[in-house]
Amino acid sequence: MSEQIVKDMMVPLAEYATVSQDASLYEAVLALEKAQEDYVQSRYTHRAVLVYDGRGRIVGKLSQSDVLRGLEPKYKKMSDMKSITRTGYSVEFITSIMEGQGLWEDPLANICRKAAQIKVSSIMYTPVEGEYVREEASLAQAIHQLIMGHHQSLLVTRDGEVVGILRLTDAFAAICAMIKTCRL
């Protein structure tokens, strides 16, 4: 079996949801929905939108969590909740934080207004160095980056330009396919 490379399992940029950093959250949601409808290659739907700048270069990601977090501006004032939830605090404690900080007091009925006013650039995530992988990298290298960085995806590059995205689900599917070929 030949070594699989990232290029063979990535989703090309042209097939992934993208939106300008100047777009509204509403426009980003529509772009994600359209990409999910159009992408039939995999049973795994897209869970993020890639964000490009005025020169057409990918500069960020907008995940489902980013969208939800962006609809409640008070989350910006709080530190990273991942560390709190991983330490074993109860649901009651986490709920008390929500109530104590006044999160989600603004009714969801105002969601349309919010989605039209929020700019993608204000809530997007800017990837760091460990979230890029060359298209010629091995599957093993990509998996290592995904696992060590706790990433859901990696931006795939060619000559320093983003040309696609490798999702954790794509790497997992490749590994499952390899396992199924084993004769035990």
Is 46 inside a domain boundary? Answer: yes
Q: How far apart are CA 151 and CA 82, in angstroms?
A: 14
Is 134 inside a domain boundary? Answer: yes
Looking at the structure of the chain, the number of domains it has is: 1
Is 47 inside a domain boundary? Answer: yes
Q: pLDDT tens digits for 78-103?
A: 655 555 556 667 777 777 776 776 66
Structural domain boundaries enclosing 136: 6-71+118-180
Task: Give the pLDDT of residue 74.
Answer: 66
Q: pLDDT tens digits for 120-175?
A: 999 999 999 999 999 999 999 999 999 999 999 999 999 999 999 999 999 999 99
Q: Is the pLDDT of residue 36 over 80?
A: no
CATH number at residue 125: 3.10.580.10
Note whether 63 and 47 are within 8 A (CB).
Answer: yes
